[in-house]
Structure 1
Amino acid sequence: MSSDHLRRSDMSKNSKANKGMPAPDDRQALLTELRRCKMARSPHAYVRGNTERFYEWVMEANGDSLPRGPAVWICGDCHTGNLGPIANAKGKVEIQIRDLDQTVIGNPVHDVVRLGLSLATAARGSSLSGLNVVRMIEALAAGYESAFADEVIDIRRPEPVHVTMKEAVHRSWQHLARERIEDLHPTIPLGKRFWPLAGDERKAIEALFADEDIASLPTSLKGRKDSGEIVVLDAAYWVKGCSSLGRLRYAVLLDVDGGVVEGDDLCLMDIKEGVKAAAPRYDDVAMPRDNALRVLEGARNLSPFLGERMRAARLLDRGVVIRELLPQDMKLEIEQLGKDDAMHVAHYLAGVVGKAHARQMDDATKREWRAELGRNRSKTIDAPLWLWNSIVQLVSSHEAGYLEHCRRYATDA
């Protein structure tokens, strides 16, 4: 691989495009402000971007009332945007958990409650009635419990999920390029979403893809040569996500065989820093101490399609996770819920999370956990009372937190 590729790319970019771009030392303040802005857009955006507030509630307010589930890898940040179509190395696509930054070996109940909070917030933002929310939480409980039955039945995808899945299956590199980098040419255009790199960042990225283990990641996909030459065409700091804004995040454009051809020869790599999880772990279990290795191990257990396409490494003395972004990788955009879809979506997504937990349990553990989930029902709601009470408290807490966040943001602005 030529170490001059990134330098030539940087020199070839229009100097006007770099004008006004933040220097690496100025990123943090801008990213913090952007995160605050994103979280002010809606209560649902606030819930997605504030994992810490959720776990403050778990630890301080209501954690003792939740059942202690089996020790399994959990998502840790299980909201609707962190679920979606994921492709494996052979091109098969399934709905799985797609973001594992917060993954730990912990209480599976935390994923169930956080998903319920996300769905309830989306329902309220869609002006659905409280009765609709009650029925949705009942469907959530039923969908999650169904994953632990002796015979698991595939659940038909609800229309909002089916539409996203259908789009994902038919997407190509051209779709990905226009969506992510706004261009089909083999460069990453600097602007609002991509910022220039510092010299040490460029050198570190070049060195990273010179490693055989990392270089084998883009060549492992179906239809690519295992022996293909890996060339770094371009790289940039990536302004992406919400809760992850402020950590190391890079987009890297690679050519797999040394001859730049649109499509399978080009690939877009995502490098993301692994940081300490806010989600509480069980004390009596062993987990990787390195945060990038923790994320990788969680992905392999919870989302096999994603886990097989990831590597953990060190970059600038920090643990990072590397994966190729495939056209089929999409998040579910469930900002609005119709009353006819709400229950079906809740049941289906809870089943996806339940299956991710269940594949880590033996039959006896699954039976015991399902029996525990079936307890503590009342005559007024067909769901565990701890689940309903938790979501009521969390919706109230996060709504107040959101309004206070907006007040502070407006004052500062």
Structure 2
Amino acid sequence: MSDIAQLIATFNAGRDPERLAMKYRLMRASPFVFLRGTCHLFYTRLPRNELLDHAPPVWICGDMHLENFGSYKGDNRLVYFDNNDFDEACLAPNLYELVRLLASVLVGAADLKLSRAQALALCQTAVESYGGALAFGKARWIEPETSVGMVRDLFDALASRSRAAHLDRRTVLKGKTRVLKVDGKKALPVSDQARAEVTSFMQTFAAGEPNPDFYRVLDVARRIAGTGSLGVDRYVILVAGKGSPDGNYLIDLKEALPSSVTPHVRTPQPAWQTEAQRVVEIQRRNQAVSQAFLHAVEFNQRSYVLRSLQPSEDRVALADWDGKLPRLEAVINSMAELSAWAHLRSGGRQKSSIADDLIAFGQRRDWQLPLIDLATQCEAQVVADWKAYCDAYDRGAFDLSAKK
């Protein structure tokens, strides 16, 4: 087994084999999907340099890339567009966040059918937008009325989608009762034992909530979503909500694992009680309004994040840029600004930089071109690692059926 294959296999050891096999197959598809599935490897391979180490420490999401932004319903029932993945979140130099975003633009260029010049132009847009938003010094947010371009298109599509239509995509009606659609694409069956354990957990959780019957479990399945976290213990739970059949709600319950970024930063981390507390606390700090039902919980003596289910469809369809670069530039501008606003919003918390330091950093220009250069090095490394992975995959190194 190559070094790359060994690093990937070791990192993913212990995951659910059925969903892990899906992850390995997906990662074979392109360098961009590989990048999304190997956050741990990205930071392992990230060159140490003065630029990164001397950047101001902030609360980063840790797994910044083009696909980790989407719309969601907040705990105030309004809809927002923001970064929505905090599994890898930690305290780190702010440019750790930016270099991964830039690398995702460069690595994703082929999938998006971008020329080299277009990809580099988008990187320039990102660093200028991030710097400008920091220098302005005020954290904003994106909601339907303030969105533009492809993000506005996403909001418009969601506005016309009813709760029933949302449920119909993931459930089937049996009489007047819904059950989850176990199709091997979004969901897999659970064992009777797991179903009973999840149901029992939800009953205990609901007992501490104002309206316990809202969380009455109707069905449970293993959830298939994302790339990086495939194979992590995760469930989709159909609950009674506001009544059957069309007032039901979908809940996501996902195990929280340690951040794969923290071993690669020198920034001291707080002593979190659990990994789920880390994820939830940083998400609450960074987002203007957090996702509905967001909680750090304990299930089966392990740490989990409970939240409303976030459909993968609620992301910008980046491939629909239709050869019009300004459409993509507007999305990249939004993503970079959202990152800056998150860093400003959470500034001063537990050793993160205060707003004055972030404003001063945003006013500087000396980091922008060197960061793009560093991102091109990361891009080359990702592509080389993907090729090594493909060789190992094609030789059967990731054939989980052979290891049973």
TM range (shorter): 0.7 to 0.9
Q: 1:35 maps to what in 2? A: 23
**DSSP 3-state at the match of 1:305:** coil
| Alpha-carbon distance, 1:198 to partner | 2.7
Amino acid at match of 2:257: V
Q: CA RMSD in A?
A: 2.9
**DSSP 3-state at the match of 2:370:** helix
Please say which of residues 84-93 and 392-401 is displaced more in the overlay.
Answer: 84-93
Q: 1:20 maps to what in 2? A: none
Q: 1:311 maps to what in 2? A: 295
Q: TM-score, normalised by structure 1?
A: 0.80
**DSSP 3-state at the match of 2:395:** helix
**DSSP 3-state at the match of 1:144:** helix
> Within the alignment, does 1:176 sit opposite 2:166 as a pair?
yes
Q: 1:409 maps to what in 2? A: 393
Q: 1:263 aligns with which of 246, 252, 257?
A: 246
Amino acid at match of 2:82: Q
| Alpha-carbon distance, 1:167 to partner | 1.5
| Alpha-carbon distance, 1:44 to partner | 1.6
Q: TM-score, normalised by structure 2?
A: 0.82
Q: 1:125 maps to what in 2? A: 111
Q: 2:199 maps to what in 1? A: 206
Q: 1:273 maps to what in 2? A: 255
Q: 1:53 maps to what in 2? A: 41
Instruction: Provide closer, same or farther for how the CA distance between residues 68 and 158 of structure 1 changes in structure 2, counting only shifts above 3 A.
Output: farther
**DSSP 3-state at the match of 2:40:** helix
| Alpha-carbon distance, 1:52 to partner | 1.3
| Alpha-carbon distance, 1:303 to partner | 2.0
**DSSP 3-state at the match of 1:361:** coil
Please say which of residues 353-362 and 338-347 is displaced more in the overlay.
Answer: 338-347
> Within the alignment, does 1:195 sit opposite 2:188 as a pair?
yes
- The within-5 A match list for 1:6-405 is 28-58=16-46, 61-150=47-136, 157-181=147-171, 185-192=177-184, 193-212=186-205, 216=209, 226=211, 228=213, 230-256=215-241, 260-264=243-247, 266-280=248-262, 283-307=267-291, 309-325=293-309, 330-335=314-319, 337=321, 338=323, 339-361=325-347, 365-375=354-364, 377=366, 384-405=368-389
Q: Is the contact between residue 206 and residue 215 of structure 2 (CA under 8 Å) also seen in structure 1? A: no
Q: Is the contact between residue 98 and residue 331 of structure 1 (CA under 8 Å) also seen in structure 2? A: no
**DSSP 3-state at the match of 2:179:** coil
Q: Deviations over 1:232-281 (max 9, x none)?
A: 11111122221111211011111135xx42333x1111000000111125
Whole-angstrom distance in 2 between the partners of 1:148 and 1:370 = 5
**DSSP 3-state at the match of 2:167:** helix
Q: Is the contact between residue 292 and residue 307 of structure 2 (CA under 8 Å) also seen in structure 1? A: no
Q: Deviations over 1:292-325 (max 9, x none)?
A: 1111101111124335631111112211111122
**DSSP 3-state at the match of 1:237:** strand
When Rg is computed on C-alpha atoms for both structures, the one with the higher figure is 1
Instruction: Provide closer, same or farther for how the CA distance between residues 82 and 345 of structure 1 changes in structure 2, counting only shifts above 3 A.
Output: same
Amino acid at match of 1:410: D
Amino acid at match of 2:181: P
Gaps of 5+ in 1: 1-25, 220-225, 378-382
**DSSP 3-state at the match of 2:181:** coil
**DSSP 3-state at the match of 2:373:** helix
Whole-angstrom distance in 1 between the partners of 2:17 and 2:309 = 27
Instruction: Provide closer, same or farther for how the CA distance between residues 78 and 118 of structure 1 changes in structure 2, counting only shifts above 3 A.
Output: same
Amino acid at match of 1:235: V
Q: Is the contact between residue 171 and residue 328 of structure 1 (CA under 8 Å) also seen in structure 2? A: no
Whole-angstrom distance in 2 between the partners of 1:327 and 1:30 = 21
Q: Is the contact between residue 70 and residue 316 of structure 2 (CA under 8 Å) also seen in structure 1? A: yes
Gaps of 5+ in 2: 1-13, 400-404
